[in-house]
Chain A
Amino acid sequence: MAQTNITWIEGSVVENEVHMTIVELSHASCTPQELIMSWVTEGVLSPTGASPEDWRFSGDSLRRAKTAAHLTHDLELNVPGVALALELLEEITQLRALLNRQI
C-alpha cells in the first residue's frame, strides 16, 4: 500500500508569538505606513519603542489594524472616526461576552 507522508505546516499564533515592525504590519494589513503612523498618533495602536523604525506592534495590533483598514476604506472614516469606532466596537464585544457568560 502506498504510504503518503503529509507535511503539516506549523504556524505561529500572531497574538502570542509575533511582534511586528511597521513594515510587516503595513504589509499584512495592506495599509500604507503613513496611515499606520496616524493611527499610532491617535492611540488606535500602541507599539513599544520610541521611533517608527523601532516600533514593535503586539500581535493583537494586526486585528485592530485590519478592522481600522476596513472601516477607513469601506465607510471612508477619518482617523478620529476610526479610533472612536474601534473603541465602541471593543465595548460591544465586551458586553456581548458578558451577556454570553450570563445566559
Chain B
Amino acid sequence: MKFQDYYETLGVPRSAAEAEIKAAYRKLARKYHPDVNKEAGAEEQFKQLGEAYAVLKDTEKRAAYDRFGANWKNGQEFTPPPNWNEGFEYSDGGFGGDNPGYGGGFEGDQSEFFESLFGRGRHRQGGRGGQQHQGMNFKGQDHHAKILIDIADAYNGAKRTIALHMPTRDASGHVSTQERKLDVSIPKGIKAGQNLRLSGQGGPGVGEGPAGDLYLEIDFHPNPIYRVDGKDVFIDIPLAPWEAALGTTVNVPTPAGSTLELKIPAGTVAGRKMRLKGKGIPSAEPGDLYVVPTIALPPATSDAQKEAYQHFEKAFDFNPRSHLKG
C-alpha cells in the first residue's frame, strides 16, 4: 500500500491552519471538479482532494494522521503500525455518508490507504433505501453509471453486455465491489450526454416498495475519424492539391458502415464544409454528416517531384501572402 501525503495533495505546509487548508481545498476543488474540468484524470484528482480534505479538516483525524511524522513521502510503501490510532475517536465513523456529490459519496471511492486508516465510510443510506422502516414501503435507490458506446451503435442501435461495479454490503456489514452484468439494448439515435433509464434495475425497494431505476449516461468512445456535436457528425477528408483545384469524386465512409460517393467540385477550399443532409445520427429529425476538406501537400523528394513544383511556380502568378503588408 502506498503512503499518501495529504498535505502535498492540497499543497499546504504541515503547519497549515484550518482556514488555509479549507482555502487550498476549495481552490483545487473548483479547478478539478469533474463537472467543470473535462480533462482525463480530473475526477481521480478530485477524489484524492476530497479524501485529503476529509482527513485534514477533522481535528481528530488530522492529529492521528500527523502521528506518522513528516518523513513519509507520497507513494512510499506503507503499512500502518498496530494500534496506531489508539485513543482517537472519530465522530462520524470515517468518511462519506449520504450525499449526491463526487467527493466521498460512494463506498469504494476511497483509497486503500484511507480505508486502512479510517475504515470505510458509513453505509451510504441512499435516500431511504438502507434504513429500517418497519411496515413502510419505499422505492429503492436510483443508481447512475456512465457507459461508452461506439458512434456506430447510435447509428444502427446495438445490443451490449455491460459490466458495472457495484459496492455491496453483506449481512455482517462487509463491503465488497461486485461486478454486475447487464444485457442492454442501445436504442438507435441515442446521443452523447443522454441518459438511458432502465426501470427497476437500481437498488432494491424497502418493504413492498419497487426497486429503483438505473440511469446510464451515454458517451462515445473517442473516434479517430469522426467528431460528434449533438446529432451532427464531422469527418475530415484530405484532398491532394490537384483534386481540390480540379474537382474529383471521393468515397466517404459513414459511421453506419456504408460508403457514400461525394463529388468534390473544382476550386474546393480547405475547411469549407459540405453537408450530407440527414446522414448524421438518426432521429425523427436526423442530424447531418459534414465533410470537412483538408488539403494534403505531397512532399517533394525526388528530382521529378521537385521539378513538378517548379512548374507550378512558373504556371501561377501566386503570392499567398499578398494580404500581408511589408
**B26, B36, B127 pick with most chain A CB within 10 angstroms:** B36
B34 and chain A: residue at smallest CB distance? A70
Q: Are A8 and B100 in contact (CB under 8 A)?
A: no
CA distance A35 to B279 in the complex (A): 42
Residues of A within 8 Å of B198, CB to CB, are 9, 11
> What residues make up the interface of B, taking CB atoms closer than 8 Å to A?
26, 29-30, 33-36, 38, 46, 50, 98-103, 126-127, 139, 142, 144, 159, 182-185, 187, 189-191, 193-199, 201, 212-213, 215-217, 227, 229-230, 232, 234, 271, 283, 290
Tell whether A9 pairs with B184 under 8 Å between CB atoms, given A14-B197, A89-B36: yes
Q: Are B195 and A59 in contact (CB under 8 A)?
A: yes
In the assembly, what is the distance between CA of A85 and CA of B182, in Å?
35
Using Cβ atoms and an 8 Å threshold, which residues of chain B touch A73? 99-101, 103
| Contact call B193/A69, Cβ cutoff below 8 A | no
For B191, the chain A residues whose CB sits under 8 A away are 15
Alpha-carbon separation in the docked complex, A65 to B121 (Å): 25
For the complex formed, measure the closest distance between the CB of A14 and the CB atoms of chain B, giving whole angstroms.
Answer: 4
As a 0/1 sequence over residues 66 to 103 of chain A, the CB contacts with chain B under 8 angstroms (1 = contact) are: 11011111110000000001000100000011001111
**Looking at chain A's contact residues, is the secondary structure mostly helix, strand, loop, or mixed?**
helix
Complex contact B35–A28 (CB within 8 A): no
User: Given A14-B195, A63-B193, A103-B227, does the pair A69, B201 have CB atoms closer than 8 Å?
Assistant: no
Pairs across A and B, CB under 8 Å, 24 listed = A8-B159, A8-B183, A9-B182, A9-B185, A11-B185, A11-B196, A11-B198, A11-B199, A13-B187, A14-B196, A15-B194, A28-B142, A28-B215, A29-B100, A30-B98, A30-B127, A59-B195, A66-B144, A73-B100, A73-B101, A74-B50, A74-B103, A96-B38, A100-B229
Q: Determine chain B's interface SS by DSSP, over half rule.
A: loop
Please state if B103 and A6 are interface contacts (CB–CB under 8 Å).
no
A14 close to B33 (CB less than 8 A): no
B151, chain A: closest CB distance, angstroms: 14
Complex interface: chain B residues within 8 A of A89 (CB): 35-36
Indicate whether A27 sits within 8 Å of B142 (C-beta atoms), given known contacts A9-B182, A70-B101: yes
Write out the residue numbers on chain A whose beta carbons fall within 8 Å of the beta carbon of B234: 100-101
A20 to B192, CA, bound (A): 20
B38, B101, B183, B184: the one within 8 Å of A69 (CB):
B101
